[in-house]
Amino acid sequence: MSQRTLLLLSQDNAHYERLLKAAHLPHLRILRADSDAEAKAKIGEAHILMAEPARARPLLAQASKLVWLQSTYAGVDILLGPGERRDYQLTNVRGIFGPLMSEYVFGHLLALTRQIVHYREQQRQKVWQSRPYESLRGKTLLILGTGSIGQHIAQTGHHFGMQVLGVSRSGRERPGFTQVYQVPALNKVLPQADVIVSVLPSTRETRHLFNAERFSYCKPSAIFFNVGRGSAVDSTALLTALRTGKLGFAVLDVFEQEPLPADSPLWGQPNLTITPHNSAYSFPEDVAQIFIRNYIRFIDGQPMDGKIDFDKGY
C-alpha cells in the first residue's frame, strides 16, 4: 500500500502529532500546519486532514489529493453549505461528549433547583436562612436529539428519578427514553416538560425550531437548555419569552453568532445563564483514539465511525 499523508489543522497540533506518532500507524506520514502560510504550502500534499472545520474550509479548494477529512469537533455544519465540496469522506467525533454534556446540564440544573447561588450570597452576608427548593424527582425532562449525547443525558435524568421524553427526526425508540416522538409532535409534548434540552445539530429543519410560537407551548416555569447549535433558537423570541414569563430560565452554551457580541441584549437578562460554547471540549486524547480507529478502518476499506451524510447534514 502506498503512503498516505495526513495534515493536522488544529489548535492542538503538537498534542495530536505526539499521540498519533506514538500509535505507529502504518503507511502514514504526518505533517502539521501551525500557521495559515504553512497550511497553504502543505494542503496540496494531504490525502487526509485532521482538522477543525473552520480551519479546513478555506483550504478545501486547494486540497487536490483529499479523500478523507476527520473533524476534531462534532459540529461540521460550516462544511455542509451549498456549493461546498462533497467529493471526499467526512467524519466527525461522536460518543465522547455525552458524559461532558451531562455534567454541564445537571451541574446548572442542580445549581438552579437547589438555590446554590443564593446560598453563596447569603454566606457572604452571614445570613442563616433556608430557601424553598424543588427536587428533580418526578419532573419531566424533554431532550431534542436522541443520539449518543441525548442518551447519556437521558440516563442521568433517570438516575435523578425524572421521566425522560425525546424528540427526533425518526421518532425511533432509544435507550434511556420513556417515549420518543417525531418533530411534528413537539407542540403536544412541550407543555409536559419541566426541563427542555436541545442537543440538535444544525440543519435546514432545525433552524429556529424554537421560535415565538414554540415558546408559547412551554410551561412558564420550564428551564430551557441549548447545548446543540445556536441556529436552533430564535434568540429574540427566547428573550421575549424570558422577559414576559413564558419561560422560567434558560442556559445557553451556543449562539447564532460566536463569540456573542458585547452589545447583545442576552448578556443582561437575569433569568439567563451564558457560557462560551464550552459544555463539551474535544479532548485530544479522545479525538486521537477516534482517528486511530478510523484510520485502520480506512486502510482496510471498512466503513468509518461518525461518517457524515452530506444531504442530511449529520
Give the Cα separation of 234 and 208 in Å (integer): 5
Torsion of CA 148, 50, 207, 281, to 10 degrees: 60
Q: Which of 229, 243, 293, 297 is catalytic?
A: 229
Q: Would you say 299 and 1 are in contact if contact means Cβ atoms under 8 Å apart?
A: yes
Give the Cα separation of 94 and 124 in Å (integer): 42
Q: Would you say 264 and 270 are in contact if contact means Cβ atoms under 8 Å apart?
A: no
Active-site residue, 277 included: yes
Q: CB neighbours (10 Å) of residue 184? A: 9
Active-site residue, 94 included: no
Q: Which of 94, 118, 243, 277 is catalytic?
A: 277
Give the Cα separation of 175 and 161 in Å (integer): 16
Q: Which of 134, 258, 285, 293 is catalytic?
A: 258
Cell matching residue 215 = 415558546
Q: Would you say 33 and 42 are in contact if contact means Cβ atoms under 8 Å apart?
A: yes
Active-site residue, 38 included: no
Query: Which residues are designated catalytic?
Result: 229, 258, 277
